[in-house]
Chains A and B, each alone.
Chain A
Amino acid sequence: MPIVLTVDPRSGVPIYQQIVEQVKRSAALGVLQAGEQLPTVKQLALDLTVNPNTVARAYRDLERDGVIETSPGRGSFVRDDGAGASTEVAARDVTRRAMEASVREARSMGLSRADVRGVIDALLDRWFPEEQ
């Protein structure tokens, strides 16, 4: 099991959501590869010292979001969709959440849609110079 998950129980972010986000990020970064097995619910619950139902809930969400698949008796695996679809899904989810927080803050500070688009365009120019 190469992935190392951590949870911060004192955070206001629900624990199942912390697990979901970390697995998605690991899948997006290729730390977890397609076809790779996740720890069992019980094992991860013991590793993190969180109750097993919370881990089970995270796994159900990951399955619903198309990141992992669970087969009874065998365990949970990162989905192997041939074209890396699950890692792409995961990468998009992680990115959307991060950008949503920024866009919300920009709006509440009074920037217009055009202002925000200008900032994003500038960032894209900087980080994707080859695609200008």
Chain B
Amino acid sequence: MSIKISHLSKTYGPLIAVDDISVEIPSGTIFGLLGPNGAGKTTTFKCMLGLARASHGSVAFDGKPLTPPLFESIVYVPERDVLYDWMRVGELVEMNRRGFKRFKAQRALELLQTFGIDTHKRVRSLSKGMKTAVAVAIAFAREADVLVLDEPTSGLDPVNQRHVLNLMVNEAARGATVLFSSHQIGQVERAAERIAILDRGKIVLEGSVDDLKANRKIVEAIFPNEGYSLNGLAGDPRIGRIDRSGRIVRVTTFDGADEIARRLEAAGGTGVRVIDLNLEDIFLYAVAPASATADVVEGS
């Protein structure tokens, strides 16, 4: 099931929590939402799922607005626990079995066992990580077409974190659309095909993780002395930033790194190299104001 978010905004009085977001998520995609705390990730999820009323904009699932019949095919795991904490884990499974036609109780019990959870325990007696595991196990047994997971690995140990990521891969392989947020860039980098980076309510970057890595590079060159000229490189639209430090220049490019490397050589640069960027580099670049990380020299 595809998801299309169009011009979604949410304001709380003077506060703009989500600011004109548009994203299309094709069916069968694992989509990662990244962003600093308070960037608007959870609010976006809530507006998508009708748990908060959007101030503007719309969300469509396979081209249609959210209506009650769709609730069977969409599952949401919130960041904060919403499990009835006075229930036993087994009772939660039973409640879901009665509530959702497609729910596979046997699958839920198997997953709970994998996570090492005793179904006789009451939810309130579980640790934060175990509560996450219960919510996730129940969600993955729903056979949903859309899974919206807010921090689905928080509090889990590395083995169970990997297990959750693998469950997401498994869901996507059977055609489900998975939308998740995480503070751990490494997880998003591993499991997500596409990402969006939210910062102060706005999407500052969106795209395929592999395409972003293939295209975004830093080109570094060393010049014989400090009085070098970059022949108008600063006006190139493919260049995001030029950082100079003495005789060394680093050019952050969105595309065409090889050609920019040749131009730096032509300008007299030596030791020219193209440096790959991982998602963390790309994330920091997207959310950090340019002036905070380096001085920018324009038009030299």
Contacts and interface: CB of A to CB of B under 8 A. Distances in A.
A57 interface: yes
A104 B272 CA distance: 9
A53 B193 contact: yes
Contact of B169 (A45, A108, A110): A45
Interface string A3-29: 000000111111111000000000000
Interface in A37-82: 41-42, 45-46, 49-54, 57
A14 B217 CA distance: 12
B34 to A, nearest CB: 14
B23 interface: no
Given A49-B166, A54-B193, A105 B273 contact: yes
Interface string B217-261: 100010000000000000000000000000000000000000001
A52 B172 contact: yes
Interface string B251-279: 00000000001000100011111011111
Contacts of A15: 190, 209-210
Contact of B210 (A14, A49, A107): A14
A89 to B, nearest CB: 22
B169 A49 contact: yes
Nearest to A41: B173
Of A10, A42, A53, the most chain B CB neighbours within 10 A belong to: A53
B172 A109 contact: no
B157 to A, nearest CB: 16
B259 to A, nearest CB: 13
Of B166, B190, B211, B271, the most chain A CB neighbours within 10 A belong to: B190
Contacts of A45: 169, 172-173
A52 B174 CA distance: 10
B200 interface: no
B172 A51 contact: yes
Contacts, number: 82
Interface residues of B, number: 37
Contacts of B278: 10-12
Contacts of B169: 45-46, 49-52
A70 to B, nearest CB: 16
Nearest to A42: B173
B191 interface: yes
A107 B172 CA distance: 45
B183 interface: no
B281 A10 contact: no
A104 B219 CA distance: 13
Interface string B276-294: 1111110000000000000
B70 interface: no
B213 interface: yes
Interface in B128-160: none
B9 interface: no
B173 A46 contact: yes
B95 interface: no
A51 B193 CA distance: 6
A77 B52 CA distance: 50
B189 interface: yes
Given A54-B210, A108-B261, 18 more contacts: A10-B278, A12-B275, A12-B278, A12-B281, A13-B213, A17-B210, A42-B170, A45-B173, A46-B173, A50-B169, A50-B190, A51-B29, A51-B172, A51-B191, A53-B30, A104-B261, A107-B265, A110-B270
22 contacts: A9-B190, A10-B280, A12-B278, A14-B209, A14-B210, A14-B211, A14-B214, A42-B170, A46-B166, A46-B170, A49-B166, A49-B191, A50-B169, A50-B191, A51-B30, A51-B191, A52-B28, A53-B28, A53-B193, A107-B265, A108-B261, A108-B270
Interface of A: 9-17, 41-42, 45-46, 49-54, 57, 104-105, 107-110
